[in-house]
Amino acid sequence: MQTRNELIIIGAGPAGLTAAWTLARNAKSSLVLEADSLVGGISRTVNYHGYRFDIGGHRFFTKIDRVEQIWHDILEGEFLLRPRLSRIYYNGKFFDYPLKMGNALQNLGLVESFLIMLSYARAQAFPARNENNFEEWVSNRFGYRLYRTFFKTYTEKVWGLECKSISSDWAAQRIKNLSLTQALKNAIFGNNTRNKDEIVTSLIEQFHYPKLGPGMMWEVCAEKLVSMGTEIAYNQQVEQIQILNDHSFELLVRSDKELQTYYAKNVISTMPLREMILAIRPDPPSAVKAAATKLSYRDYLTVVLILDKKEVFPDNWIYIHSPEVRMGRIQNYKNWSPEMVPDENHTSLGLEYFLWEDDPEWSWPDEKLIELGKTECERLGLIQKEWVIDGTVVRMKKAYPIYDENYKKALTTLQAWLKSIPNLETIGRNGLHRYNNQDHSMLTGVYAAENYLESKKHNVWQVNTEKEYHETGERTIPEPVDDLDQTIEKMFAPYDPVALGTAIGFVSGFGLFLMTAILLLKGGPVIGPTLRLLSNYFIGYSVSWSGAVIIFLQGSLAGFVLGSMIAWLRNATILWYAHWLKRKQEAEQERDLLDKV
């Protein structure tokens, strides 16, 4: 069978359906080819005997107004506003996340908190100059000890790689707006920011959520698209993309073990970039094919346990940092929306495992995986095995594009070659090999559709690249940064006055407190005659327990002021130096121009 189309969209996930939606709202129909039997991609919601669950949790929060409008145009009044409660399980303890000061201090202890602040101060004074990997990037901003506690084990579980083998680009993209100052401010005062643009996504305390899960969004979207004239074909696996002489395309598609051919003048693809490149005919150049094979993906499966228990724990989700279990995260779907379970006396949990397809666990039978999940949950003290009355397993291949040491060079090669193919646009998380959230994936769909409709020149590769571009005008529409500014920022990252002041303050105050406490515990006829001299500098200080508290508070304040001043003076010096360099460069450019004239 052969069909001819003006435009084909490969993939019915958030990016593909958003492209189709934008086209349909402008009276342009399209054909959407979906390899699976469901829409939504990784944002689907699976239904098992009335129990609905996500492929990972999907909060509906965005700073992109156009995306938020699309959400509400599709679902209208079907959103719930849900409170966010999440924790981190590490070293046998539960840490509130976002961190709360009292809870963190209680779980870490004063000594470990002191060492974390000392580690942060060291990172600020002696940062790693080359932020080539995840470990260096995070350690520079939070200190190695905090990185080791709250970042390392979970990140290595998710990606299956050592943090030294993960590109710093991933950290810059996913943790870009979070700093120690933001974390401390949130821990002490909570998140009181009213301006959506200033909110750090990781720290939000409530979010919108479709009452039947994120898949509801895309199921309704698909229904509305069909009513507007868009055709969606399911179980259509694209195996080959033939580029014809007139720059149109012939797609060879497998459906129910049969092959059929589709012709299209234009193609928008959300296929995994590696698979799309290798499916193109005539064959791409050998360097391009070699670059494509260097892209890799992390696979994912969720073990769903259904419990004969009305309440298990209050969280929406829990991050499992502890290395003694394979599980990486637990979702409590009932706490995302009460309508995710058909019986209010039952609870469904999603235990998330991040794997490679060739890991033995990937091919385990469902029964064995369910038993593993029950054992690990009981080991963590979250459930008792006898509560479990049913379970299932869902696997998702190529869930996460990998940011390893090879990806950046490979991606540059592929981007350059794809520019030579008119009428082909690649979008979405896997289509761009970028770990975008749902909203950024949707924005690439909007841009691709507008490029087709209005011959606009949106560069979808620049969506969600704030590390390399400034946002101007509409959010996430980037413009290149001046090369000199980039170089100076990379060489001399500014110090955070609040964070450095807090670190030096806590280290100073706790150090003085510790010296006083040691002398008091040691005892003797005359306690600390030398240390008493500090009473000349700290009001009300004496070598006593009340004096220890006084010197802790005053020492912390003095250290905070000192650390803040050091950061401010250092930043001011770098700012002046950058300004001087720029003026010097401009003067040299003017002199060269005059010489040419």
Predicted local distance difference test score (pLDDT) of residue 27:
95
Instruction: Give the whole-angstrom CA distance, residue 353 versus residue 370.
Output: 12
Vertex 252: Cα angle to 247 and 254 (nearest 5): 155
pLDDT at 182 (0 to 100): 57
Tokens of 583: 């003026």
Alpha carbons 507 and 283: distance in angstroms, whole number: 61
How far is CA 554 from each of CA 543, 563, 591, rounded to the nearest angstrom?
A: 15, 14, 55
* Pairwise CA distance, residues 546 & 523, whole Å: 16
Q: Give the whole-angstrom CA distance, residue 468 versus residue 482.
A: 10
Helix 497-522 to helix 110-125 angle (10° resolution) is 140
Residues 375, 385: contact at Cβ < 8 Å? yes
Return the pLDDT at 492. Answer: 56
Cis check for the bond before 525: say yes or no (omega within 30 of 0): no
Q: DSSP string covering 467-518, please?
A: TTEEE-SSTT-EEEPPHHHHHHHHHSPPP-HHHHHHHHHHHHHHHHHHHHHH
3-state secondary structure of 539: coil
What is the pLDDT at residue 178? 54
Task: Give bridge partners of residue 263 from the DSSP assignment.
Answer: 4, 250
The pTM of the full predicted model, rounded to 2 decimals, is: 0.78
pLDDT in tens, the chain (597 residues): 567 889 999 999 999 999 999 999 999 999 999 999 999 999 999 999 999 999 888 889 888 999 999 999 999 888 999 988 899 999 899 998 877 767 788 888 888 888 888 888 888 778 887 888 999 988 988 889 989 988 899 999 999 999 999 988 887 776 655 555 555 555 454 555 555 554 445 446 788 999 999 999 999 999 999 999 999 999 999 999 999 999 999 999 999 878 999 999 999 999 999 999 999 999 999 999 999 999 999 999 999 999 999 999 999 999 999 989 999 999 999 999 999 999 999 999 999 999 999 999 999 999 999 999 999 999 999 999 999 999 999 999 999 999 988 899 999 999 999 999 999 999 999 999 998 889 999 999 999 999 999 877 899 999 987 543 333 333 333 434 445 555 555 555 667 787 777 778 878 888 888 888 888 887 766 666 777 778 878 888 888 888 888 888 888 888 888 888 888 888 788 778 777 777 777 777 666 655 554
Interstrand relation of 297-307 and 347-355 (parallel, antiparallel or unpaired)? antiparallel
Q: What is the C-alpha to C-alpha distance for residues 7 and 26, in angstroms, rounded to an integer?
A: 14
pLDDT at 2: 64
By residue count, the chain amounts to 597
Q: Are 108 and 193 in contact (CB under 8 A)?
A: no
Q: CA-CA distance, 407 to 552, in Å (whole number)?
A: 48
Q: Give the number of other CB atoms < 10 A from CB of residue 594.
A: 8
What's the gap between Cα 401 and its chain centre? 12
> Per the structure block, which two tokens stand in for 56?
């990972």
How far is it between the farthest Cα atoms of the chain?
100
3-state secondary structure of 102: helix
Q: What tokens were used for 271?
A: 């296929």
Neighbours of 467 (CB within 10 A): 13
